[in-house]
């Protein structure tokens, strides 16, 4: 768990000549958007059951060398349900078109069920590669989940405790580009804002803001954290 950032904290300045990121405060309706009760309750339960009952799953960490945790399965929503989600998301950010990146070298797991247990993963702050994603979204589908298992936004934490930024902007594509480093210490982040996990809640956010699943839970298939993820490109 990451230390919570508080505006009242007295912190030192960022060390001289350190790489930096711009900072954009996570704010509802500005860089993230939430819709509760996205689908009718009965339909949401049916969607969750459809995911749990899927036969084909790809395994991630700790079962394979993949960096992502748990297991995932494609085509979680039907075309009509996916269109419903996309239409809502586009209306929030005033975009006419969304599309999913198609590259031979990378598989973009959009409209994908993600199932992760307590022992299979942990919060991992990151930004979505700008070449692959402008807006990300997560539909929470675990019934009665622990509140602190939704989505958190983060900002850099320097070795001396100084608070830094959270945003990757052009011309950079990801944190490696922006910070000119291949990796960051595990404690290189403050948690800035945490969004509660609620069944049938959709959160949409700018993919270039540092974020992560807040945490995972459960040990059996139907008790683990179930969510559907979306990654969309759009005109800037």
Average pLDDT score over the chain? 96
Is the residue at 27 inside a domain? no
Closest CA to 225 of 48, 79, 75: 48
Q: How far apart are CA 138 and CA 132, in angstroms?
A: 16
**pLDDT tens track for 83-128:** 999 999 999 999 999 999 987 777 889 999 999 999 999 999 999 9
For residue 102, the model assigns a pLDDT of 87
Is the residue at 89 inside a domain? yes
Q: How far apart are CA 52 and CA 49, in angstroms?
A: 5
For residue 111, the model assigns a pLDDT of 98
* pLDDT confidence bin for 56, thresholds 50/70/90: very high
pTM: 0.96
Task: Domain of residue 219: give its range.
Answer: 32-232
**pLDDT tens track for 137-146:** 999 999 999 9
Q: In the chain, where do the E strands start and end?
A: 32-35, 58-59, 71-73, 112-116, 135-140, 151-156, 189-195, 202-206, 211-213, 225-232
**pLDDT tens track for 200-209:** 999 999 999 9
Strands 151-156, 189-195: pairing is antiparallel
**The CATH number of the domain where 52 resides is what?**
2.60.120.620
Is the residue at 189 inside a domain? yes
Is the residue at 165 inside a domain? yes
Residue 225 has what DSSP assignment?
E
Is the residue at 130 inside a domain? yes
Is the residue at 170 inside a domain? yes
Contact between 60 and 72 (Cβ < 8 Å)? yes
Q: How far apart are CA 113 and CA 226, in angstroms?
A: 7
Contact between 85 and 230 (Cβ < 8 Å)? yes
**pLDDT tens track for 157-198:** 999 999 999 999 999 999 999 999 988 998 999 999 999 999
For residue 1, the model assigns a pLDDT of 80
Is the residue at 131 inside a domain? yes
Is the residue at 166 inside a domain? yes
Q: What is the number of structural domains in the chain? A: 1
**pLDDT tens track for 35-49:** 999 999 999 999 999
With pLDDT > 90 as the criterion, what percentage of the chain qualifies?
94
Residue that is written with structure tokens 């006419």 in the block? 96
Q: In 133-233, where do the E strands start and end?
A: 135-140, 151-156, 189-195, 202-206, 211-213, 225-232
């Amino acid at each position: 768990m990451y230390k919570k950032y508080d505006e009242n904290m007295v912190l030192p300045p960022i060390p001289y000549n350190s790489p930096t990121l711009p900072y954009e405060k996570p704010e509802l309706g500005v860089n993230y958007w939430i819709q509760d009760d996205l689908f009718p309750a009965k339909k949401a339960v049916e969607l969750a059951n459809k995911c749990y009952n899927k036969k084909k799953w790809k395994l991630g960490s700790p079962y394979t060398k993949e960096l992502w945790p748990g297991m995932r399965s494609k085509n979680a929503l039907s075309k009509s349900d996916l269109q419903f989600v996309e239409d809502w998301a586009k209306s929030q950010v005033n975009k006419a078109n969304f599309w999913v990146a198609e590259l031979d070298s990378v598989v973009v797991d959009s409209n994908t069920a993600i199932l992760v247990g307590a022992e299979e993963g942990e919060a991992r702050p990151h930004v979505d590669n700008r070449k692959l994603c402008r807006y990300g979204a997560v539909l929470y589908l675990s019934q009665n989940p622990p509140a602190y298992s939704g989505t958190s936004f983060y900002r850099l934490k320097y070795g001396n405790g100084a608070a830094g930024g959270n945003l990757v902007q052009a011309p950079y594509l990801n944190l490696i580009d922006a910070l000119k480093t291949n990796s960051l210490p595990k404690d290189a982040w403050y948690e800035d804002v945490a969004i509660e996990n609620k069944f049938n809640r959709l959160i949409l956010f700018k993919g270039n803001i540092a974020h992560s699943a807040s945490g995972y839970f459960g040990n059996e298939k139907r008790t683990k954290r179930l969510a559907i993820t979306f990654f969309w490109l759009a005109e800037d």
